[in-house]
Structure 1
Amino acid sequence: MPKKPQFSIPPIFTTTQPTNSKCRTTPFTTLIQNPKTSSTSLNFTFLNHLKNQRLDSARAVFNKIPSPHVSLYTRMLLAYAHNHNLPEAINLFNQIPSNTKDIISWNSIIKASILCGDFITAVKLFDKMPHRNSISWTTIIHGFLSVGRVVDAERFFRAMPSADKDVATWNAMVDGYCNNGRVNDALRLFSQMPCRDVISWTSIIAGLDRNGKSSQALVFLKDMVGCSGVEISSTTLVCGLSAAAKISGFNAGIQIHCCMFKFGYCCGFDQFVSASLVTFYAGCNRMDNAFKVFGEIVCKNVVVWTALLTGYGLNEKHVEALEVFGDMMRFCVVPNESSFTSALNSCVGLEDLEKGRVIHAVVVKMGLEKGVYVGNSLVVMYSKCGYIGDALCVFNGIGEKNVVSWNSVVVGCAQHGCGLWALALFKQMLMEGVESDEITLTGLLSACSRSGMLQKARCIFGYFGRKRSMKLTIEHYACMVDVLSRCGEVEEAEALAMSMPVEANSMVWLVLLSACRKHSNLGVAERAAKRIFEMEPDCSAAYVLLSNLYASSRRWSEVARIRMKMKHNGVVKQPGSSWITLKGLKHEFLSADRSHPLAEKIYEKLEWLGVKLKELGYVPDQQFALHDVEIEQTEEMLSYHSERLAIVFGLLSTVEGSTITVMKNLRVCGDCHNAIKLMAKIVDREIVVRDSSRFHHFKNGICSCGDYW
């Protein structure tokens, strides 16, 4: 049945004159003189202004309406509330004649107070109501639950007359409990409900899924399907798909997919259902199925496109994700914030700054650069691609920053060794009243670790340790162990690792072992390695670190013993590799790699750089060769480390004077670090190297880390 238009054209506008008249319509002057006609026209104009959110114009017209109906008062005061102008809403409510104030107007002004966050006024109005219905109670209960005031909501729910407690009120409490993390209370209340509808079941299924109980959510969905008299909605099934995706319940998801056909929710036409199916199959690592569902959709909107785009990104198929984003643009599908966020995440996955900048330009063109979600993704993209300055510029332009915004820029500064910037941002964060969390502490401790700020780290660790709202995790202790050991307090770091409230895992001991080489503390290193081997006998990183420590001490027999043990246990060392991304293509190099098409030119350029390095006084550091071989062989091995090959390829393949950014899977060795500082000076370029620990910005013979990493 076709829907009626919201506002019907008054019949007076089509009134015809008698047949003997030449004029077929009523003269305009007659319409103005007709009070009934004038009132109807004003009503129409008033509602039209409200629909287009022209409040001042709407109020001006409203003031001209003779004896406006109470429903018009209600529409006007709710419009004020949605624009957070509660004083005007209350003033208008007080102007409603007492004999015409109905329960709808009372409920509306209470809702207006809640929308504006004034619960004191809402409760006062609620108490003044001459009589209440279930909507009155549900409105104020839902309002308290929406801002986390569960205790107040419970108080009103208990005070509510049993006769007024309809299914909507019970649903509001169940949903509110779930939204505030009180799942057990939601389950208890759900079991006590005198009757349940589809919203009741959907609320508990979605609530369980949101609170990490996806398996239990599927059990409830199964119970609902077997429950007679309750019609299953598409929303319910979508919630079930979400739960199935989170636990990789492929079989359960297939059954839900079948239910969608059984209950008549045609996936090819229902975009909401289609998008959830694409997301489900992507979450179960079945991108072929996800793409098949996508192809069957008759009319694809931005939500469906974004589901496919995000799915490819979650499955590490970043090239395909960006191709989907490009297709969206070609088919004139306007991306939303989620689309841009997913596309930028794929740029991070590919470490492709060029594509990231192109997407940033589209963001600016659409006026979304100040949005918090897109802004946060841009901050992460620039910082992880080596451009912390650009990340800070984007951060400063974000309109309403949330804790993720602050964490993203603090962690970014930490990765680039900008410890003082990170601390300054944290101070600003506190001044603006933003509540810090576990990620903030991790970022701050990492910043202190990479900048050698031991005392600052002690203060920060103590400050967060005293916060009741946060519990220190094993990652935080690992960061503090890292700070202490890097700053030379190796024994104190070992003591902290042993006295942690939870048993230190291999990550904590690896951090300590890694720092022992710099400070030549073989005793602590051997004890840390022993702990690691007890937990992870096949940990290749521990073998390599201990072997390197023995090698730097020239204890070649111990090096041989460690390598024999690795061979006996089948432990394989992760090969060091470096790569550079140019024009969307990733060029990867191993140590002494000669497989690249430009290998001959790369080695010629390396030889030329080697001569220039020696002219500047560079001498290879033998302790980083880590092999018991002759000096000539040692120098050759150091000269052909993977990061040097990648840098030289960058020099040959980019415009003179441009910045070269190289990524490495392991820590850059000390000898290469010294050589790259001089290389940057020789070629007069900035060279950025990101290793497994941090970013190094080499320029004019200096590194941003201050030789501390």
Structure 2
Amino acid sequence: MPKNPPFKVPPFFTTKKTNSKCLTTSFTTLIQNPKPSSTSLNSTFSNHLKNQRLDSARAVFNKIPSPHVSLYTKLLLAYAYNHRFPEALTLFNQIPSNSKDTISWNSIIKASIICNDFITAVKLFDEMPRRNSISWTTIIYGLLSSGRVVEAETFFNEMPHDDKDIATWNAMIHGYCNNGRINDALRLFRLMGSRDVISWTSIIAGLDRNGMSYQALVFLKKMVGSSDVEISSTTLVSGLSAAAKISDFYVGVQIHCCMFKFGYCCSLDEYVSASLVTFYASCKKMESTCKVFGEIVCKNVVVWTALLTGFGLNDRHVEALEVFGDMIRFGVVPNESSFTSALNSCVGLGDLEKGRVIHGVAVKMGLENGVYVGNSLVVMYSKCGFIGDALYVFKGIGEKNVVSWNSVIVGCAQHGCGVWALALFKEMLREGVESDEITLTGLLSACSRAGMLQKARCFFGYFGRKRSMKLTIEHYVCMMDVLGRCGEVEEAEALAMSMPVEANSMVWLVLLSACRVHSNLDVAERAAKRIFEMEPDCSPAYVLLSNLYASLRRWSEVAKIRSKMKHNGVVKQPGSSWITLKGLRHEFLSGDRSHPLTEKIYEKLDWLGVKLKEMGYVPDQQFALHDVEIEQQEEMLSYHSERLAIAFGLLSTVEGSRITVMKNLRVCGDCHNVIKLLAKIVDREIVVRDSSRFHHFKNGICSCGDYW
């Protein structure tokens, strides 16, 4: 008798006759076209979404029988984050009406906001059958994030009281702060029934961002005294930022101690570490800054950039650029802020060569067309004397903001390219970019350096009538500068007297400078009197008035002023010029003989002096400004600092190359005439940046047209 099998035989292995052909077909079909389960489809769908394969995810979604509303929500939000809003809206409309819940409605409203379609967001919100606090908070926060504060206020006021949870109040406070309405933020903060750490942090950070750093620290102290709120690292970082801005070292150290007490200094939080570096650098404590940096375990790009920026803030630009080089050597990839700080240090040094190297690194990383790096490159090239390169970079910036336009307009103004500045402003208007206070400053400066008085009057009147802008003292100073340069000294004085706020010493200094140029002694003496009433020890006022008397050969008055300066301990700022070659700055004072190449420099100047006389040059004695013999006056003029720097540049650079000299004071008229002739004698372009503008000398003429 056969033994029983050790297991139960499956039905298809029984001796019952079956159609073998049919059985084989069934197995083949099952293997080739297996029917996927809902679980596997959901898993595949989620995997595609996670890897941003939206079309593949949609294909899988279409195969899911009766997909749950949560799957619709996931897909429509994925469409939104990839700015495919029409597909998101279509998908939402495909959700069965009886399946649409509050979450799906909130998601499509959020998708509308992500894609900046606020009209649709508001329309969908109005159509919602049921709303919860998240619905209200989503629409309010979205409107606030786009600057639509009035609309957000309307929704907040219409929101049912029971739905106003702490998140909604926090959203309004945060939005008010971000849009500069700090008083409204404070009002809401005081009305809140209960507050959490986000409420306190929002108001502290908001006060700090809106120029009320001292008040921010007051609120931080109140928060610390509140036992029911736990302080977060973000709160302390906001407080440290406020302490840095007002250089309150004592309070900042206390906050540092709190960070240590709560264990935040030992964390890997990059913002805590970076904020500590920034704080000590802002308080001019670079030794402590470096110590804190050395103690940080995880030094990422944010921390490195904080150190780089800190050195720049303390005018230690050489060390700042060394930090930038160290970042790259240690494999830390610089971000846009790193490049901005490094380029600012190149400007501080006037080092175009290093600026070009950093520009090359930005090109390799594909950042040169980004708005932040692009803006910094525009400033760097224009301030180093290469406005053509600045314009080239500006054209390549992808999405230009108001800073981009202002940078290139101000740059053109500095180089005396007034027509270019006005053309760029017209293009700015065509692009729909809203101008601001800096735009007006740039335009007035452009008009001043090009002698376009009527244009300046039009701009001053046009911007003065704009409700969105308030004219500042700086704008009045610029307008007075235009009037003064154009010889309208009396009108400039009348403008100073009619200002809505009391004119400060800078206003009267501009007027005094104009009087010096146009030899208007009456107005000059009135302006000087105003200055001395406000600042008895104002060195520039003494110098300008003394120079005016000297140009009119009133030597007794010059002697009185110099005696008064000596009695009051007022020291004239010495004129200096410098030239940067191969990363080294060579600085010269008038009559300077301390440079290693002094002998060769003076030999070069003597040779150039002979050539100048051959071309008919006669020294302009009114710029000697000393009651001495003619020969001494000529010698004093011959060895002005800018001439020494140019002679050094001629000796130290390749023949035919351009020479760029920086000067801390305004170039005198005699030197201006001389440099025009020098550029022709040596057949080179010579660029001189003085306290007023850039002068491009070439072939015996200057870009300023002898108007500066």
For the aligned pair, the TM-score class normalised by the smaller chain equals: over 0.9
* Cα distance in 2 between the residues matched to 1:268 and 1:106: 39
More displaced stretch, 456-465 vs 117-126: 117-126
Match of 1:539 in 2: 538
The CA deviation at 1:29 is: 8.3
1:298 corresponds to which residue?
A: 297
In structure 2, the residue matched to 1:410 is 409
Deviation string, structure 1 residues 661-681 (Cα, Å, up to 9, x no partner): 101111111111111111111
Do structure 1's residue 334 and structure 2's residue 333 form an aligned pair? yes
**Alignment check: 8 A CA contact 1:578 1:662 kept:** yes
SS at match of 2:147: coil
Structure 1 residue 480 corresponds to structure 2 residue 486: no
Q: 1:31, CA displacement in angstroms?
A: 7.4
The answer on 1:35 being equivalent to 2:49 is no
Q: CA deviation at 1:195?
A: 2.3
In 2, Cα distance between the equivalents of 1:137 and 1:625?
74
Distance 1:479 1:197 in 2: 48
The alpha carbon displacement at 1:48 in A equals: 3.1
Structure 1 unaligned spans of 5+ = 1-26
The 8 Å contact of residues 268 and 297 in structure 1, kept in 2 or not, is answered as no
Q: How does 1:126-205 map to 2 (within 5 A)?
A: 126-205=125-204
Aligned position for 1:123: 122
The offset of 1:33, in angstroms, is 4.2
More deviation, 382-391/517-526: 517-526
SS in 1 for 2:190: helix
- Cα deviation, 1:523-572, whole Å, max 9, x if unaligned, reads 22222222212221111111111111111112222222221222222211
**Structure 1 counterpart of 2:583, one-letter code:** G
Mapped to 1, the partners of 2:127 and 2:575 lie a distance apart of 74
**Cα distance, 1:32 vs structure 2:** 6.6
Partner of 1:16: none
5 Å matches for 1:414-425?
414-425=413-424
Distance 1:198 1:348 in 2: 41
- Identify the residue that residue 96 of structure 2 maps to in structure 1: 97
Superposed, which structure 2 residues align to 1:61-460 within 5 Å?
61-267=60-266, 269-460=268-459
Task: Please report the TM-score for the alignment, with normalisation by the length of structure 1.
Answer: 0.93
Structure 1 55/660 Cα, relative in aligned 2: closer, same or farther at 3 Å?
A: same
Name the SS of the counterpart of 2:287 in structure 1: helix
SS in structure 1 at match of 2:696:
strand
**Distance of 1:494 and 1:128 partners within structure 2:** 62
Per-residue deviation, residues 281-322 of structure 1 (Å, max 9, x unmatched): 112211211211111111211011011111111111111111
2:461 match: 462
TM-superposed CA distance for 1:36, in Å, is 4.1
C-alpha offsets along residues 671-708 of structure 1, whole Å, 9 cap, x if unaligned? 11111111111111110001111110011111101111
- Superposed displacement of residue 521, structure 1: 1.6
Q: 1:217 offset after TM fit, Å? A: 1.8
Q: Distance in 2 between matches of 1:270 and 1:84?
A: 31
Displacement after TM superposition at 1:477 (Å) = 1.1
CA distance in 2, matches of 1:162, 1:385: 59
SS at 1:459 equivalent: helix
In our comparison, the structure showing a higher alpha carbon Rg is: 2
Query: 1:662 aligns to what SS in structure 2?
Result: strand
Unpaired segments of 5 or more residues in structure 2?
1-26
The Cα offsets for residues 199-232 of structure 1, whole Å up to 9 and x where unpaired, read as 1221122122222222222222222223223222
Offset at residue 396 of structure 1 (A): 0.7
Residues 432-581 of structure 1: matches in 2 within 5 Å? 432-581=431-580
CA distance in 2, matches of 1:218, 1:556: 56
> Hey, what's the Cα distance between the residues in 2 that align with 1:603 and 1:131?
87
Q: CA separation of 1:64/1:598 partners in 2, compared to 1, >3 Å: closer, same or farther?
A: same
Bigger shift: 383-392 or 628-637? 628-637
Task: Decide whether the 8 Å contact of 1:174 with 1:204 is kept in 2.
Answer: yes
> Aligned partners of 1:28, 1:592: CA distance in 2, in Å?
101
Equivalent pair of 1:380/1:412 in contact (CA under 8 Å): yes
CA shift for structure 1 position 520? 2.0
Give the direction of change, closer, same or farther, for the CA distance of 1:364–1:630 in structure 2 (3 Å limit).
same
Instruction: Quote the offset at 1:483 in angstroms.
Output: 0.9
Contact 1:267 1:273 in 2 (8 A): no
Distance across 2 between alignment mates of 1:476 and 1:143: 36
Tell me the residue number matched to 1:20. none
Aligned residue in 2 for 1:11: none
Matched letter for residue 278 of structure 2:
T
Q: Is the 8 A contact 1:577 1:664 kept in 2?
A: yes
Q: CA deviation at 1:596?
A: 0.5
Tell me how far apart the structure 2 counterparts of residues 32 and 246 of structure 1 sit (CA, whole Å).
70
Q: 1:676 is paired with a residue of what secondary structure?
A: helix
Counterparts of 1:204 and 1:491 in 2: how far apart (Å)?
Answer: 49
Give distance in 2, aligned partners of 1:586 and 1:173: 52
Q: Which piece of structure 1 moves more, 444-453 or 551-560?
A: 551-560
Aligned to 2:526, what secondary structure does the other structure show?
helix
CA distance in 1, matches of 2:329, 2:30: 55
Q: Which range moves more in the overlay, 294-303 or 76-85?
A: 76-85
Alpha-carbon distance in structure 2 between the residues aligned to 1:484 and 1:221: 49
Task: Specify whether residues 101 and 288 from structure 1 end up closer, same or farther in structure 2 by C-alpha distance, changes over 3 A only.
Answer: same
- Give the AA of the match of 1:227: S
- Which position in structure 2 is the counterpart of 1:14? none
What residue in structure 1 maps to residue 19 of structure 2?
A: none
**Contact 1:413 / 1:419 at 8 angstroms: preserved in 2?**
yes
Q: Distance in 1 between matches of 2:120 and 2:549?
A: 73
Aligned to 1:12: none
Compare 392-401 and 202-211 and name the one that shifted more. Answer: 202-211
Contact 1:111 1:139 in 2 (8 A): yes
Distance 2:29 2:200 in 1: 59
* Paired AA for residue 136 in structure 2: W
How far is 1:583 from its partner?
Answer: 1.1
Separation of aligned partners in 1, 2:702 and 2:512: 25
Secondary structure (helix, strand or coil) at the match of 2:587 reads strand
CA distance in 1, matches of 2:492, 2:372: 38
Aligned to 2:703: 704
**Partner-residue secondary structure (3-state), 1:63:** helix
Q: CA RMSD in A?
A: 1.8
Question: Identity over the aligned pairs, expressed in percent?
Answer: 85
CA separation in 2, counterparts of 1:656 and 1:267? 58
Moved more, 466-475 or 165-174: 165-174
Farther-moved stretch of structure 1 (327-336 vs 477-486): 477-486
Report the number of matched residues: 682
Compute the displacement of 1:340 (Å): 0.3
Residue identity matched to 1:294: F
One-letter identity of the residue aligned with 2:164? K
SS in 2 for 1:663: strand
Deviations 1:409-460 (A, max 9, x none): 1111111111111111111111111111111111111111111111111111
Matches within 5 A, 1:558-707: 558-707=557-706
